């Protein structure tokens, strides 16, 4: 048994010939799920005979047991893998006999599978049906590190800035966060004035996709640089920063997915066995990375009033973050026990299957 693993999530397009079948199944699932929400105590699949029992079980776990869900308009069809009995890996794809008979849905497995498919979800996007699937994959052994790199995430300027105290090198990653979000904010205002609800929804999805794409690229660069330098990664423990009185308004205004970036860094590092440390963010932007004197930065320009050191504010913060890890006792995580990757559709289901 492999203890050192992560859970990956990917999606694939379902062939169009199944469209009518899935459209009909979706309507039946919506009807049965509405019954589930009205009768939360009736959890047995025998009460929902118009849909396959494997789907009724999944719908109960996703919707009926979640008391926060009061109604649904769009359905996501969940299916537990049942240790390979319900969802099977065959050749270059996935087969779900209860739905698609003998047909294998084409799927990619970029990393090796441990055991079986844990969980799948079937959903519709832009008139096309997709299948998302998650499975366990082995992580590399914890990498030997002789160095650390500090990563500063920003609400204004580059998405992230990382620094290596050992070499003194600094790298700035990602486009200017404020310019990207300002562009979408202005476009959203115009659409709201025109009451263009469909376009607003489309714009929101477009923004989400762009943010996700940038965060994936930035996190990949951070992890690759850490591996090249045989370094651990150090980030700030921001916690619920959006709820803080001091920084919350800046984070909300930036509309950037900082926690998503943290997750992406986490799973990519875990797969390569690179440890991640979290440190207290206090004074990382105000303290001089050379002498420790607290200063008040002027925009993105940092000048120390004590030793005269001057630097880019984010680069100075990244050096401080890297150096702070020495005060911690243990890494925020090693490669083992990492949470699901890529936004798994149902973490509890994955854990149960695992």
129-162 residue pLDDT tens: 999 999 999 998 888 888 899 999 987 788 999 9
Residues 134 and 257 in one domain: no
Contacts of 195 (CB under 8 A, 6+ apart): none
DSSP state for residue 63 in the 8-state scheme: I
pLDDT of residue 343: 37
Average pLDDT on 9-33 reads 96
Residues 156 and 100 in one domain: no
Please, are residues 231 and 145 in contact by the beta-carbon 8 Å criterion? yes
- Under the banding of pLDDT at 50, 70 and 90, the label for residue 330 is very low
Domain that holds residue 258: 147-177+214-327
Sequence length of the chain is 354
Residues 128 and 152 in one domain: no
DSSP state for residue 243 in the 8-state scheme: G
Residues 121 and 158 in one domain: no
Task: Give the DSSP H or E segment for 215.
Answer: helix 197-228
Residues 154 and 71 in one domain: no
Task: Give the DSSP H or E segment for 222.
Answer: helix 197-228
pLDDT of residue 201: 87
pLDDT of residue 54: 95
Please, are residues 179 and 187 in contact by the beta-carbon 8 Å criterion? no
Residues 243 and 306 in one domain: yes
In a domain, 193, yes or no: no
In a domain, 57, yes or no: yes
Task: With H, G, I as helix, E, B as strand and everything else as coil, classify residue 203.
Answer: helix
Contacts of 4 (CB under 8 A, 6+ apart): 138, 139, 141, 335, 336
In a domain, 335, yes or no: no
Give percent above pLDDT 90 in the chain: 60
- CB burial readout 13-29, b (16+ within 10 A) else e: ebeeebeeebeebbeeb
Give percent above pLDDT 70 in the chain: 86
Domain count for the chain, please give it.
Answer: 2
Residues 311 and 173 in one domain: yes
Q: Please give the mean pLDDT across all residues of the chain.
A: 86
Comparing CA positions, the residue from 35, 268, 236 lying closest to residue 154 is 236
Between 241 and 90, the more confident residue is 90
**Measured distance CA(23)–CA(102) in Å, rounded:** 20
pLDDT of residue 241: 55
Would the pLDDT of 27 be above 60? yes
Residues 163 and 279 in one domain: yes
Residues 88 and 227 in one domain: no
Residues 60 and 100 in one domain: yes
Would the pLDDT of 318 be above 90? yes
Burial (CB count <10 Å: 0-12, 13-18, 19+), residue 344:
buried
pLDDT of residue 277: 92
Strand order in the sheet with 77-80: 5-13, 128-138, 114-125, 77-80
pTM, 2 dp:
0.79
In a domain, 156, yes or no: yes
Between 180 and 3, the more confident residue is 180
In a domain, 63, yes or no: yes
Would the pLDDT of 23 be above 60? yes
In tens, the pLDDT along 33-89 reads 999 999 999 999 999 999 999 999 999 999 999 999 998 888 999 999 999 999 999
Helices 197-228 + 177-193 axis angle, to 10: 170
Strand order in the sheet with 93-95: 88-90, 93-95, 105-106
Contacts of 349 (CB under 8 A, 6+ apart): 58, 61, 62, 78, 80, 118, 119
Comparing CA positions, the residue from 146, 145, 148, 143 lying closest to residue 164 is 148
Q: What are phi and psi of 127, to 5 degrees?
A: 70, 10
Residues 301 and 153 in one domain: yes
List beta partners, residue 11: 132
In a domain, 60, yes or no: yes
In a domain, 26, yes or no: yes
- CB burial readout 299-336, b (16+ within 10 A) else e: eeebebeeeebebbbbbbbbbbbbbbbeeeeebbbbbe
In 45-135, which ranges are continuous DSSP H helix?
Answer: 53-59, 97-100
In a domain, 188, yes or no: no
Burial (CB count <10 Å: 0-12, 13-18, 19+), residue 30:
middle
Please, are residues 51 and 99 in contact by the beta-carbon 8 Å criterion? no
In tens, the pLDDT along 178-202 reads 788 888 888 988 889 888 888 998 8
Question: Which CATH number covers residue 303?
Answer: 3.30.420.140
Task: Give the DSSP H or E segment for 25.
Answer: helix 19-38
Would the pLDDT of 313 be above 50? yes
Residues 159 and 50 in one domain: no
């Amino acid at each position: 048994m492999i203890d050192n693993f992560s859970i990956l999530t990917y999606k694939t397009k379902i062939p169009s010939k199944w469209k009518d079948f899935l459209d009909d199944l979706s309507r039946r699932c919506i009807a049965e799920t509405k019954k589930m929400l009205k009768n939360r105590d009736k959890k047995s699949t025998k009460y929902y005979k118009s849909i396959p029992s494997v789907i009724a079980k999944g719908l109960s776990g996703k919707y009926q047991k979640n008391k926060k869900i009061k109604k649904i308009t769009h359905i996501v069809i969940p299916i537990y893998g049942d240790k390979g009995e319900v969802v099977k890996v065959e050749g270059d794809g996935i087969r779900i006999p209860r739905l698609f008979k003998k047909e294998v849905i084409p799927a990619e497995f970029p990393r090796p599978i441990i055991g079986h498919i844990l969980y799948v979800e079937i959903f519709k996007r832009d008139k096309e049906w997709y299948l998302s699937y998650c499975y366990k994959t082995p992580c590399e052994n914890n990498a030997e590190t002789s160095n650390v790199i500090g990563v500063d995430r920003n609400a204004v300027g580059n998405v992230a800035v990382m620094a290596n105290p050992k070499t003194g090198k600094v790298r700035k990653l990602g486009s200017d966060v404020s310019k990207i979000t300002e562009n979408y904010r202005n476009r959203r205002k115009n659409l709201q004035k025109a009451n263009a609800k469909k376009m607003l929804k489309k714009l929101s999805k477009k923004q989400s996709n762009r943010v996700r794409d940038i965060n994936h690229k930035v996190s990949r660069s951070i992890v690759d640089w850490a591996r090249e330098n045989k370094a651990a990664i150090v980030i700030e423990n921001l916690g619920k920063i959006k709820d803080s009185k001091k920084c919350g308004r800046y984070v909300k205004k930036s509309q950037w997915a900082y926690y998503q970036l943290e997750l992406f860094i986490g799973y990519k590092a875990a797969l390569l066995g690179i440890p991640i440390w979290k440190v207290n963010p206090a004074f990382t932007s105000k303290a001089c990375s050379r002498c420790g004197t607290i200063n008040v930065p002027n925009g993105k320009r940092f000048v120390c009033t004590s030793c005269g050191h001057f630097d880019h504010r984010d680069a100075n913060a990244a050096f401080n973050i890297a150096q702070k890890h020495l005060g911690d006792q243990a890494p925020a995580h090693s490669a083992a026990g990492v949470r699901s990757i890529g936004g798994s559709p149902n973490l509890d289901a994955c854990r149960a299957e695992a």
